Amino acid sequence: MSPADEGSDRNEGQISPEERAEFKRRSAEIGRRLDAARPESGKSKSAKGSQGKASNELLGRALRLSTELIGGIVVGAGIGWWLDTYLMPTVFGVKTWPLMFIVFFLLGSAAGMLTVVRSGMKMKTGPSDPTKGKPVPDDEDGVI
Amino acid sequence: MAADGHGHSPIEQFEIKELLPIDIFGIDASLTNSGAYMLVALGLIFGFLYFSTGGRSLVPTRLQSISELIYEFVANTVRENVGSQGMRFFPLVFSLFIFVLVLNLLGMIPIPGVTFTVTSHIAITASLALMVISIVVFYGLYKHGLGFFKIFVPSGVPLALYPLLIPIEIISFISRPISLSVRLFANMLAGHIALKIFAGFIGVLLGAGVWAVLAPLPLALTVALTALEVLVAVLQAYVFAVLTCIYLSDAVHGSH
């Protein structure tokens, strides 16, 4: 760092020892502040998961959640309706009209919520964290 | 934005127009404005990537660093969500991301009578989503055999709950391509309709005598909405790529 070997005939060789000490003190101070700042940002990053970098990504996640619930409900209701109106009467000859629709509508809602909860948990704990995944079953029992 | 207030419907912009009638053995394969926009997008993507990576200098030029940034961005997305084994799907994710991104952004460039947002049609987004989900299913079956279906079996749950939970898991899987395609399509559709309506207010207010003093309000809102729509265009392309990665990770890793 200190160019003492070639700076003997130039100005930097004549830097007073106090100045050099002052310089070293300042650089050490900067280093200390950097060290203090770094684990903090690292910590907040790992807390949010490895992807938690920009607010844009957070907005992307919010947009993602909104359609997932609806997707589950629509698919569930669609399957129930198809079972009721096509499969059950024509293939099995049973009239089940509102039954399958209601059952699969509920299943679809559960599936939508499950998807939302799952992606929510993934956002909170990061892509794969086996230790933090433990409380999930309890939560899900509470939901269902 | 050619909305000058007389008779322009906000959904007119989504109309498919035939440009060049092509008929292949009775199949209507005409070039429409949608197809033309896709061809333009492909040309732009290919041209940009070709010219920006042509130099391959060690210290990148501006263009080269743009394509390197996009590459790094998509590569990191794939690595984070699928892992390094997922990098074999990098070309797929990169193509999807840049295709959707360029189409979304092209739709934001207002050319009166021409502007068309390809991704605002569910036929396009659903085809992309179905392609993704078919790749997930076929690659999962190829890699894990029938064990792929274990992703439908929840782990750590009492056996008695299986009849309830397996249908839920299956519905949740089927809803993936639907939410993937509906999300992109609905965002683009709603955004462009909102833009058109608020832009239409400007013309209506300007033609309404004294009320013309209020015309700057919807103008300001339109400017703000345009900025928001550009953000949404980029975000939706990103979300599409991320979700593709998440679904691919099921195929690569199987159940966990």
> CA of B183: which chain A residue's CA is closest?
A67
B194 in reach of chain A (CB within 8 A) = no
A56 pLDDT band, cuts 50/70/90, is low
Same domain for A29 and A78? no
Same domain for A79 and A40? no
What is the reported pTM?
0.76
The pLDDT assigned to A53 comes to 52
Element (H, E) at B18: strand B18-20
Q: Does residue A5 lie within any of the structural domains?
A: no
As a whole number of angstroms, the distance between CA B102 and CA B56 comes to: 23
> Which chain A residues touch B if contact means CB-CB below 8 Å?
50-51, 56-57, 59-60, 63-64, 66-68, 70-72, 74-76, 79, 104, 107-108, 110-112, 114-115, 127-128, 137
Of A57, A115, A137, the CB nearest to B172: A115
Q: B179 vs A70: CB contact, 8 Å cut-off?
A: yes
A8 pLDDT band, cuts 50/70/90, is very low
Same domain for A24 and A60? no
Asked if the model's pLDDT at residue A10 lies above 60, the reply is: no
Q: Does residue A84 lie within any of the structural domains?
A: yes
Please tell me the distance in Å from A115's CA to the nearest CA on chain B: 7
Asked if the model's pLDDT at residue A131 lies above 70, the reply is: no
Same domain for A121 and A69? yes
A33-37, A49-53, B87-91, B230-234 — which is least confidently predicted?
A: A49-53
Same domain for A29 and A82? no
A126 vs B172: which has the higher pLDDT = B172
Radius of gyration of chain A (CA): 31
The pLDDT assigned to A40 comes to 55
Rounded alpha-carbon distances, angstroms, from residue A76 to A22, A79, B130, B179, B254: 71, 5, 18, 13, 24
Q: A60 vs B182: CB contact, 8 Å cut-off?
A: no
B209 vs A57: which has the higher pLDDT = B209
Q: Does residue A66 lie within any of the structural domains?
A: yes
b (16+ CB within 10 A) / e for A121-135: bbbebbeeeeeeeee
Instruction: Yes or no: say if A71 and B129 are a contact pair by the CB < 8 Å rule.
Output: no
Tokens in use for B66?
A: 């743009």
Q: Does residue A29 lie within any of the structural domains?
A: yes
Q: A110 vs B168: CB contact, 8 Å cut-off?
A: yes
Element (H, E) at B28: strand B27-28
Q: B172 vs A112: CB contact, 8 Å cut-off?
A: yes
Mean pLDDT, residues A127-136 taken together: 42
Same domain for A35 and A70? no
The pLDDT assigned to B213 comes to 87
The pLDDT assigned to B11 comes to 82
Mean pLDDT, residues A92-116 taken together: 89
The pLDDT assigned to B139 comes to 93
The pLDDT assigned to B12 comes to 83
Of A51, A60, A111, the CB nearest to B171: A111
> What are the residues facing B32 on neighbouring strands?
B18
**What string of pLDDT tens digits covers the 256 residues of chain B?**
444 444 568 888 888 888 888 888 888 888 999 999 999 999 999 999 998 888 777 778 888 889 999 999 999 999 988 888 889 999 999 999 999 999 999 999 988 888 899 999 999 999 999 999 999 999 999 988 888 888 888 888 888 888 888 999 999 999 999 999 999 999 999 999 999 999 888 888 888 888 888 888 999 999 999 999 999 999 999 999 999 998 998 888 876 5
The pLDDT assigned to B8 comes to 67
Count the domains in chain A. Answer: 2
Same domain for A25 and A74? no
Q: B179 vs A114: CB contact, 8 Å cut-off?
A: no
Q: B243 vs A70: CB contact, 8 Å cut-off?
A: no
As a whole number of angstroms, the distance between CA B253 and CA B139 comes to: 11
Same domain for A35 and A73? no
Same domain for A121 and A88? yes
Q: Specify the amino acid at residue B169.
A: E
Q: Does residue A104 lie within any of the structural domains?
A: yes
ipTM of predicted assembly, 2 dp: 0.74
A36 vs B170: which has the higher pLDDT = B170
Which structural domain range is residue A60 located in?
Answer: 54-143
Instruction: Yes or no: say if B183 and B239 are a contact pair by the CB < 8 Å rule.
Output: yes
Q: A67 vs B182: CB contact, 8 Å cut-off?
A: yes
Q: B182 vs A72: CB contact, 8 Å cut-off?
A: no
Question: Which residues neighbour B77 within 8 Å (Cβ) at sequence distance 6 or greater?
Answer: B93, B238, B241, B242, B245
- Identify from A48, A50, A63, A144 which residue to disrupt to test chain B contact, counting B C-beta atoms within 10 A and taking the largest count: A63
Q: Does residue A101 lie within any of the structural domains?
A: yes
Same domain for A37 and A65? no
Q: Specify the amino acid at residue A118.
A: R
Same domain for A74 and A21? no
Helices (H) and strands (E) in chain B, counts: 6, 4
A104 vs B26: which has the higher pLDDT = A104
- In B64-174 the beta strands, taken as DSSP E runs, fall at none
Q: Does residue A6 lie within any of the structural domains?
A: no
Chain A residues in contact with B169 by the CB 8 A cut-off are 111, 114
Same domain for A42 and A93? no
Element (H, E) at A48: helix A17-48
Chain B residues in contact with A75 by the CB 8 A cut-off are 171, 174-175, 178
Task: Count how many pairs of residues, chain A against chain B, have C-beta atoms within 8 Å.
Answer: 78
Three-state DSSP at A91 gives helix
Q: Does residue A90 lie within any of the structural domains?
A: yes
